[in-house]
Chains A and B, each alone.
Chain A
Amino acid sequence: MALKIVKGSIDRMFDKNLQDLVRGIRNHKEDEAKYISTCIDEIKQELKQDNIAVKANAVCKLTYLQMLGYDVSWAAFNIVEVMSSSKFTYKRIGYLAASQCFHEGTDVIMLTTNQIRKDLSSPHQYDTGVALTGLSCFVTPDLARDLANDIMTLMSHTKPYIRKKAVLIMYKVFLKYPESLRPAFPRLKEKLEDPDPGVQSAAVNVICELARRNPKNYLSLAPLFFKLMTSSTNNWVLIKIIKLFGALTPLEPRLGKKMIEPLTNLIHSTSAMSLLYECVNTVIAVLISLSSGMPNHSASIQLCVQKLRILIEDSDQNLKYLGLLAMSKILKTHPKSVQSHKDLILQCLDDKDESIRLRALDLLYGMVSKKNLMEIVKKLMLHVDKAEGTTYRDELLTKIIDICSQSNYQYITNFEWYISILVELTRLEGTRHGHLIASQMLDVAIRVKAIRGFAVAQMATLLDNAHLLTGNTQRNGICEVLYAAAWICGEFSEHLEDPMQTLEAMLRPKVATLPGHIQAVYVQNAAKLFATVLRKHEGETDSHAAQETSQLLIDRLPLFVQSANLEVQERASCILQLVKYIQKLQQKKVEVAEEVTALFAGELNPVAPKAQKKVPVPEGLDLDAWINKPPSESESEDEKPKAVFAKEEPKHSRSRHTEVDEKELARRREARKQEQANNPFYIKASPSSQKVYDAPGVEHIPVVQIDLSVPLKVPGMPMSDQYLKLEEERRQKEKAERKKKEKKKKREKRGKERKADSGPESEEDITPAHQVDIVTEEMPENALPSDDDDKDPNDPHKALDIDLDKPLADSEKLPVRTHRPEVLKSPAEDRVNENIPQETKKRSGKETKEKKKGKEKDRKRSKEEKKKKKHKEVEEELLESQPEEAVQSEETKEAATPPTSTSAEASDLDFWLCSAPVPPAAQEETAPSSAAAVDTSSAAAPESEPDEPKDAEPEDTKSSKHKKKKQKKEKEEKEKKKKKRHHHHHHHHHHHHSDAGGEDSVQNGTVEEEEPLPPMSNYSLLAENSYIKMMKEDADQVYDIQGNHQDESKVVVSVIFENKSDSFLKSMEFNVLDSLNSKLQRPEGAGAHDSLTVPFQLPPGISNEARFVFSVQSIVMPQKLKGTLTFIVKSDESSTHEKLDFKLHFTCTSYLITTPCYSDAYAKLLESGDLKGSSLRLEGINMPFHHLLARICFHHHFSVVERIDSCASMYSRSIQGHHVCLLVKTSDQTVSIDAKCDEPSLLGNVLDEIKQTFSKC
């Protein structure tokens, strides 16, 4: 053995290390590949040795070779070996190699699970760190599932170094194993407030990354992030948060309103350019989200634009680039404010930096107007000529087309100019965008009827000079243009001056070298031209010319009949036969022109691109249903439709009537016209929906007079410039004329009000050069308005679109290994674990807020409950008052009940958002001590609470009154009513059986599919007389989050007051006789015996809820407090003073808080031995086990830790921090509960109460 080691180290002396390898490669520049292959052989030898040092060295070298492009996956197993070395040095080498070359397809990865788990729980932080780093690069779904729980525990590690790595890697885990998101999220959220800035930053990073993809799920975190934003000084964190807000504001415009001020302050104050820039960006996002229906924030826009101008003018190219980038975002919503910087942007087009030029191009798109379009395009054309490198030139080309064609050619005043631009673009060397130009030509020629004559002439020229385009194989892209040219010449051949010449051009032998689909169009359109030529010569006595044409076709078409392309061949042979037949007829002196023309008769209308998709499915039509029985599977496989034919352009698929005699044809045409006129689904090119230049019908459009001052037939001569010139002259002339007219007018109406001088030419002043009819695109009537963008179904982030506000179900817990006892964790960590009753923190935070908000919140709550009773009526209101629910409106509409859990969250967010923008004074105060930011703003809220809820309320009460009356009419029994409310209540406090999840889950767990749970309520009758009924609920506790449990704890009691009489109840006063132990919390300055005014009045039949806070010292014993409610009963004739006595019973249960607990922490707790035991047996319990658990959970505020068959462990915690653990077992109607608690008397009382609960049923 010793010898082996010695041998090993001697071997190593002769081994190459990484440096030697690198040096060797550098010395073998000529035969590098050969040298490396010998090195790889050496490495293979080294890997075979037992010595781990040798192996590690070899793996290290492999990592280097991997960088040079060598596949080293064959050594994957050796890498795993090195990873599992106990020495940090080698482990690090192994993990590095793994992170460089492992991926999801690497099969040895599954061997690593246990090794990684071991490393993660290593006592040395750097082992853990290295494992985390490596894992972050090669985590697979399996690894993520198996290790999620381990990593989650690491998020609470004592060392911030590990915490931040664990937090970051969670994002990767979520991506690979989306189920882990919900269980891990509370802890992740907690890390936002980690004392270590690095951990905090990591948490911000992860949540921002998550929220960017599914922002709506993270809206409820907005207050927390707002607080961070005002408190953090770390620019990196600030940038992330500000970016996040940019993603959130589109969902919640009120958030935007709240953001503007702090952001503007930051813009003014920060010196960091990166931060400034992101602030500007987010302000822009806010402005965009506000732009609809909000008073214009012109000051903010101005500020942004002005800051951006500074950036663009900066000598730093980076800032210039970013400035332009941000400017393009403003452009979308506020084009006017950007347009004033046109000069600056045009200047950027000349920049030597391509990135900047591209950005400037983007901006130009939004800046064009009728006035400047020609000028801008001219500039761009110059750049096209100058541009080197095809990518930039192609970019220019597409931009030119984009700019001109945007919003239905809105800015083009002269289409002749545009056609010439398109023709000029065809001369571009080596562009890839021939099809783009072609489709523009087609589009313009079809849709702008007035331009057809001109377009046809231009296209004929193009066809004539086709050799210029096809001469070079490099220019393949551009020959697409010929497709358009041929089609336009054929389809609109009546405009051709010399169809014969064009026909000849289209049948040149050279055409056979074009791509098949273009040839096909050539052949087809040659036939159309043929028809035109025939008609032209019809009636001439000398039929020689016509016959010559037929001969031309008969001579040339065989070339195409031989084509290898099916489409070309088929069309050619068809037409060839047709022409031969016609020739025969011609020889017999039969007139055929009319009939041949009829082959191609009919008008084409453009169809909107989405028209097909938008045809609504008729009611009752189920496209998925079988019409006939499905054929057997084997058959269907064979019959898979295959695209045999080349993709056919829809334009050719119009029906063609062949061999129909003249009369029949005319009759059909007439019939069709009639049908079209009567058919509501056929949209005529109606003048209503589009820009209309007073053209009542197609027939009446004057054919454009071609301006002969421009020579048409000179190829290679840019004409657009001349059009530009002409256009300018025309405008000048028009302007002059207008001025003249105006002068005349002025002279005529001298003395009357002076008209503002028409100094700068306004948009509207520019009239199009020609009467142009832009044919509307056809759309089916009652087309669905949905413009849903199809999302990528493969997006991994889609799986992370998870509602995070729903409480956790048991089934969602992260898988934990069970085949081995729990690994012991450091006590400190355990403490942390215990102290993370995640829900509690959230809840308690919420509730303290609630408490502070007092009245306001109460009202909201009761309102919410009412809402649920009649959610249908309220739905609209809901949408108005809670826009974030509008986000989920689809769900809301579908689901019978709106998701309460989210709406509760939402109302919190609502509240935060409603508390009008913090006044500047308060803001300043907040900034330094911003930990209290949220609190201050919410505290300030009640006064500044916007009128919205108040507005809503009267209406609300009215309608609920209405409802109650109705109920009374129906004489429903009180009992029933009560039940109904209970039911609602149940729904309120438990999360809704979520419509999305479809699982029937009870709070904290137990998924059962058996029977639905009976409705439960914690409301009990407090007192009742003929006027009023009081119901008490003790479900909600708040414990002092300051943590001084010893002094006193707070209990909130909700009381529902229901007016049973027909009179109005007012001036209700609530008072309780304090005991030594429990006291009603009275406002400051009030005496110990003063009563509290109930903050509402009760109209007949109405109920409302109020909350009272009690402070309690000892919680180990149940308490009873005597109290009185006094109120005034006001009827029409009289008013009397009434009083109702009641006894408030504080059970020990009411001091318990539902607290989730991890099973590991639970096990720790039981092991600790601090707890005293007690037990309880219940006989004759006749209910399903999950009902039993649910009851304990609900009535006694426990949560299920773990459930195995008919045995469950449960946990709860008192407001003073006592742990209460239950082990519930059931068999044959007998339930035994073993309980442990650190306070025996509390436990005894709780058990008694549990016993009572079950004795009742």
Chain B
Amino acid sequence: MIKAILIFNNHGKPRLIRFYQYFAEDMQQQIIRETFHLVSKRDDNVCNFLEGGSLIGGSDYKLIYRHYATLYFVFCVDSSESELGILDLIQVFVETLDKCFENVCELDLIFHMDKVHYILQEVVMGGMVLETNMNEIVAQVELQNRMEKSEASDQ
């Protein structure tokens, strides 16, 4: 199970947060801060796994993250997930973003947080991996966007 997905930039500013377990808003912010603190002090050439961020913690949980240019993509997962699998999943997610936004950059995420959510919803649902095939994800996202557009033109 995935417990949370956090995207924040090099300064710790959240760009997308998705908790699959309830935390109050202030707790969420604290988790983001702590996670950023843990992740940001790590070099780029160290491993992408982190154990025991105490807030989201429990010994069963791990932080698995990837750092792309200005953004950190952090997944908090339990032991039922394969570590390398999640790393692949992050890659799939980012590539999907890249396809949907055409050369995605931080600004896309800043201004279209909702759209990023919709894309994520096609990848992970309720903390479980829904789809790992990028083409399938992109197809579903596009179909829904088309539906939105047709609704907009109806008005």
> Which of A's residues lie within 8 Å of B, judged by CB?
18-19, 22-23, 26, 60, 63-64, 66-71, 87-89, 92-93, 96, 100, 103-104, 126, 132-133, 136-137, 139, 161, 164-165, 168-169, 171-172, 198, 201-202, 205-206, 208-209, 212, 235-236, 239-240, 243, 273-274, 277-278, 317-318, 320-322, 352-356, 358
A321 to B46, alpha carbons, bound, how many Å?
Answer: 10
Chain A interface mostly helix, strand, loop or mixed? helix
A273 to B28, alpha carbons, bound, how many Å?
Answer: 34
- Closest-by-CB residue of B relative to A106 is B22
Known A-B contacts A69-B29, A126-B147; the reply to A64 vs B130 at CB < 8 A is: no
**What would 9 more interface pairs be, CB under 8 Å, given A69-B26, A69-B28, A317-B45?**
A18-B114, A19-B111, A67-B17, A100-B18, A103-B22, A274-B87, A320-B47, A321-B47, A321-B49
Asked if A236 and B111 sit within 8 Å, CB to CB, the answer is: no
- Closest-by-CB residue of A relative to B30 is A69
A221 to B106, alpha carbons, bound, how many Å?
Answer: 46
Expressed in whole angstroms, the minimum distance between the Cβ of B107 and any Cβ of chain A is 10
Partner of A239 from B14, B29, B45, B82 at Cβ < 8 Å = B82
B98 interface contact, C-beta 8 A = no
B84 interface contact, C-beta 8 A = yes
- Closest-by-CB residue of A relative to B46 is A353
Asked if B50 and A133 sit within 8 Å, CB to CB, the answer is: no
Partner of B125 from A71, A136, A208 at Cβ < 8 Å = A136
A133 to B28, alpha carbons, bound, how many Å?
Answer: 21
Known A-B contacts A87-B151, A126-B147, A274-B88; the reply to A208 vs B111 at CB < 8 A is: no
Asked if A322 and B84 sit within 8 Å, CB to CB, the answer is: yes
Asked if B85 and A239 sit within 8 Å, CB to CB, the answer is: yes
- Chain A residues positioned under 8 Å from B83 (CB to CB): 274, 277, 318, 322
Between A and B, 8 residue pairs with Cβ closer than 8 Å are: A22-B110, A71-B25, A96-B114, A137-B126, A172-B126, A202-B130, A243-B80, A318-B48
Interface residues on B, range: 35 or more
Contact mask B90-127 → A, CB, 8 Å, 1/0? 00000000000000000000111110011001000111
Taking each of B45, B51, B83, B121, which has the highest tally of chain A beta carbons within 10 Å of its own beta carbon?
Answer: B121
Asked if B47 and A318 sit within 8 Å, CB to CB, the answer is: yes
Known A-B contacts A69-B29, A355-B46, A356-B47; the reply to A318 vs B84 at CB < 8 A is: yes
Asked if B111 and A22 sit within 8 Å, CB to CB, the answer is: yes
Expressed in whole angstroms, the minimum distance between the Cβ of B93 and any Cβ of chain A is 14
B133 interface contact, C-beta 8 A = yes
Expressed in whole angstroms, the minimum distance between the Cβ of A632 and any Cβ of chain B is 42
Expressed in whole angstroms, the minimum distance between the Cβ of A918 and any Cβ of chain B is 26
Asked if B80 and A212 sit within 8 Å, CB to CB, the answer is: yes
Expressed in whole angstroms, the minimum distance between the Cβ of B96 and any Cβ of chain A is 15
B132 interface contact, C-beta 8 A = yes
- Closest-by-CB residue of A relative to B18 is A100
Known A-B contacts A318-B47, A355-B49; the reply to A208 vs B80 at CB < 8 A is: yes
Partner of A67 from B42, B47, B49, B113 at Cβ < 8 Å = B113
Asked if A104 and B110 sit within 8 Å, CB to CB, the answer is: no
Asked if A164 and B131 sit within 8 Å, CB to CB, the answer is: yes
A235 to B88, alpha carbons, bound, how many Å?
Answer: 11
Expressed in whole angstroms, the minimum distance between the Cβ of A635 and any Cβ of chain B is 40
Asked if A67 and B14 sit within 8 Å, CB to CB, the answer is: yes
Known A-B contacts A89-B148, A132-B125, A165-B125; the reply to A277 vs B84 at CB < 8 A is: yes
> Which of B's residues lie within 8 Å of A, judged by CB?
1, 14, 16-18, 20, 22, 24-26, 28-29, 42-43, 45-51, 80, 82-85, 87-88, 110-114, 117-118, 121, 125-133, 136, 140, 143-144, 147-148, 151-152
Asked if A88 and B128 sit within 8 Å, CB to CB, the answer is: no
- Closest-by-CB residue of B relative to A72 is B25
Lowest 8 A-B CB distances belong to which pairs?
Answer: A136-B126, A274-B84, A317-B47, A353-B46, A103-B22, A69-B29, A321-B47, A239-B82
- Chain A residues positioned under 8 Å from B26 (CB to CB): 69
Known A-B contacts A67-B16, A209-B1, A322-B83; the reply to A355 vs B110 at CB < 8 A is: no
- Chain A residues positioned under 8 Å from B152 (CB to CB): 89
A89 to B153, alpha carbons, bound, how many Å?
Answer: 12
Known A-B contacts A69-B25, A168-B130, A209-B128; the reply to A274 vs B46 at CB < 8 A is: no
A91 to B10, alpha carbons, bound, how many Å?
Answer: 33
A345 to B130, alpha carbons, bound, how many Å?
Answer: 38
Expressed in whole angstroms, the minimum distance between the Cβ of A10 and any Cβ of chain B is 14
- Chain B residues positioned under 8 Å from A236 (CB to CB): 85, 129, 132
- Closest-by-CB residue of A relative to B147 is A88
- Chain B residues positioned under 8 Å from A322 (CB to CB): 49, 83-84
Asked if B114 and A60 sit within 8 Å, CB to CB, the answer is: yes
Asked if A318 and B151 sit within 8 Å, CB to CB, the answer is: no
- Closest-by-CB residue of B relative to A70 is B25
A198 to B133, alpha carbons, bound, how many Å?
Answer: 9
A752 to B130, alpha carbons, bound, how many Å?
Answer: 74
Asked if A168 and B47 sit within 8 Å, CB to CB, the answer is: no
Partner of A277 from B49, B82, B143 at Cβ < 8 Å = B82
Asked if A205 and B129 sit within 8 Å, CB to CB, the answer is: yes
A322 to B79, alpha carbons, bound, how many Å?
Answer: 13
A862 to B46, alpha carbons, bound, how many Å?
Answer: 62
- Chain B residues positioned under 8 Å from A355 (CB to CB): 46-47, 49-51
- Chain B residues positioned under 8 Å from A273 (CB to CB): 84
- Chain A residues positioned under 8 Å from B114 (CB to CB): 18, 60, 63-64, 93, 96
Partner of B82 from A63, A87, A212, A243 at Cβ < 8 Å = A243
- Closest-by-CB residue of A relative to B54 is A391
- Closest-by-CB residue of A relative to B1 is A209
Expressed in whole angstroms, the minimum distance between the Cβ of A74 and any Cβ of chain B is 12
- Chain B residues positioned under 8 Å from A88 (CB to CB): 144, 147-148, 151
- Chain B residues positioned under 8 Å from A60 (CB to CB): 114
Expressed in whole angstroms, the minimum distance between the Cβ of B122 and any Cβ of chain A is 9
- Chain A residues positioned under 8 Å from B17 (CB to CB): 67
Taking each of A63, A133, A202, which has the highest tally of chain B beta carbons within 10 Å of its own beta carbon?
Answer: A133
- Closest-by-CB residue of A relative to B26 is A69
Expressed in whole angstroms, the minimum distance between the Cβ of A317 and any Cβ of chain B is 4
Known A-B contacts A126-B147, A274-B82, A277-B84; the reply to A171 vs B128 at CB < 8 A is: yes
Expressed in whole angstroms, the minimum distance between the Cβ of B154 and any Cβ of chain A is 9
- Chain A residues positioned under 8 Å from B126 (CB to CB): 133, 136-137, 139, 168-169, 171-172
A278 to B83, alpha carbons, bound, how many Å?
Answer: 9
Asked if B20 and A318 sit within 8 Å, CB to CB, the answer is: no
Expressed in whole angstroms, the minimum distance between the Cβ of A1034 and any Cβ of chain B is 46
Partner of B143 from A26, A126, A205 at Cβ < 8 Å = A126
A274 to B86, alpha carbons, bound, how many Å?
Answer: 9
Asked if B151 and A209 sit within 8 Å, CB to CB, the answer is: no
- Closest-by-CB residue of B relative to A359 is B51
Known A-B contacts A277-B84, A321-B47; the reply to A205 vs B125 at CB < 8 A is: no
A63 to B84, alpha carbons, bound, how many Å?
Answer: 31
- Chain A residues positioned under 8 Å from B42 (CB to CB): 353-354
- Chain A residues positioned under 8 Å from B128 (CB to CB): 168, 171, 202, 205-206, 209
A317 to B127, alpha carbons, bound, how many Å?
Answer: 26
- Chain A residues positioned under 8 Å from B24 (CB to CB): 71
Asked if A318 and B143 sit within 8 Å, CB to CB, the answer is: no
A889 to B43, alpha carbons, bound, how many Å?
Answer: 52
A266 to B136, alpha carbons, bound, how many Å?
Answer: 27
Known A-B contacts A69-B28, A172-B126, A318-B87; the reply to A96 vs B117 at CB < 8 A is: yes
Taking each of B43, B49, B136, which has the highest tally of chain A beta carbons within 10 Å of its own beta carbon?
Answer: B49
- Chain B residues positioned under 8 Å from A320 (CB to CB): 47
Partner of B25 from A26, A66, A89 at Cβ < 8 Å = A66
Expressed in whole angstroms, the minimum distance between the Cβ of B137 and any Cβ of chain A is 10
A356 to B16, alpha carbons, bound, how many Å?
Answer: 29
- Chain A residues positioned under 8 Å from B1 (CB to CB): 209
Asked if B46 and A352 sit within 8 Å, CB to CB, the answer is: yes
Expressed in whole angstroms, the minimum distance between the Cβ of A427 and any Cβ of chain B is 26
Known A-B contacts A71-B25, A126-B144, A126-B147; the reply to A317 vs B82 at CB < 8 A is: no
A243 to B132, alpha carbons, bound, how many Å?
Answer: 18
Known A-B contacts A67-B17, A103-B22, A161-B140; the reply to A133 vs B43 at CB < 8 A is: no
A240 to B49, alpha carbons, bound, how many Å?
Answer: 19
Taking each of B24, B82, B132, B147, which has the highest tally of chain A beta carbons within 10 Å of its own beta carbon?
Answer: B82
